[in-house]
Amino acid sequence: MITTIAKVFTGQMEGKEISLRGWVYRHRSGGNMVFAVVRDSTGIIQVAVKKDKVSEKDWKDANDAYVESSLTIRGVVKKDERAPGGYEIGATGFELISRGEPFPVAKDLSEEYLLDIRHLWMRSQKMTNIMKARHHIVNYLREFFNNDGFYEIAPPIITRSGCEGGSTLFEMDYFGEKAYLTQSSQMYAEVFVFSHEKVYVLAPSFRAEKSRTIRHLAEYWHLEPEMAFYDQKMNMDLQEKMVQYAVEKMVKEHPELLKACGRDPLELEKVLAPFERMDYAKAVDRVNELGGKMAHGEDFGADEEAILTKEAIRPMFVHNFPKDIKAFYMREDPKKPGTVLNSDLLAPAGHGEIIGGSERIWQYDELVTRMKEQNLDIKDYQWYVDLRKYGSVPHSGFGLGVERFVKWMLNLDHIRDAIPFPRTITRCYP
Residue 176: phi, psi to the nearest 5? 90, -5
155 near ligand 4AD, rule: CB under 6 A: no
Residues 188 and 167 sit within 8 Å (Cβ to Cβ): no
The least distance separating ligand 4AD from the CB of residue 405, rounded to whole angstroms, comes to 7
Q: Which residues contact 247 (CB under 8 A, 6 or more apart)?
A: 268, 271, 409
Residue nearest Mg ion by beta-carbon distance: 356
36, 71, 163, 193: which one binds ligand 4AD (CB under 6 A): 163
Q: Where in 222-251 is the site for ligand 4AD (CB under 6 A)?
A: 222, 224
- The entry of Mg ion, ligand 4AD, none near residue 207 (CB within 5 to 8 angstroms by kind) is ligand 4AD
The least distance separating ligand 4AD from the CB of residue 234, rounded to whole angstroms, comes to 14
Sheet arrangement for strand 352-359: 151-152, 198-206, 219-228, 395-401, 352-359, 342-347, 316-319, 276-279
* Buried b or exposed e, range 34-55, using 16+ CB within 10 angstroms: bebbbbbebbbbbbbbeeebbe
Q: Where in 326-365 is the site for ligand 4AD (CB under 6 A)?
A: 353-357
417 near ligand 4AD, rule: CB under 6 A: no
236, 399, 408, 412: which one binds ligand 4AD (CB under 6 A): 399
The least distance separating Mg ion from the CB of residue 399, rounded to whole angstroms, comes to 8
Burial of 123 (0-12, 13-18, 19+ CB in 10 A): middle
Residues 188 and 155 sit within 8 Å (Cβ to Cβ): yes
The least distance separating ligand 4AD from the CB of residue 222, rounded to whole angstroms, comes to 6
192: left (phi over 0), alpha (psi -120 to 50) or beta: alpha
Interacting span for ligand 4AD (CB under 6 A) from 53-61, 110-118, 214-222, 313-321: 214-222
- Per rule CB under 6 A, count of chain residues that contact ligand 4AD: 22
Q: Which residues bind Mg ion (CB under 5 A)?
A: 356
Interacting span for ligand 4AD (CB under 6 A) from 10-18, 61-69, 215-223, 367-375: 215-223
Nearest to 354 by CA among 396, 410, 298: 410
Residues 94 and 58 sit within 8 Å (Cβ to Cβ): yes
What distance in Å separates the CA atoms of residue 246 and residue 7, rounded to the nearest whole number?
A: 27
Query: Nearer to ligand 4AD by C-beta: 222 or 314?
Result: 222
Chain residues binding ligand 4AD by CB under 6 A are 163-164, 184, 186, 207, 209, 216-217, 220, 222, 224, 353-357, 397-399, 401, 403-404
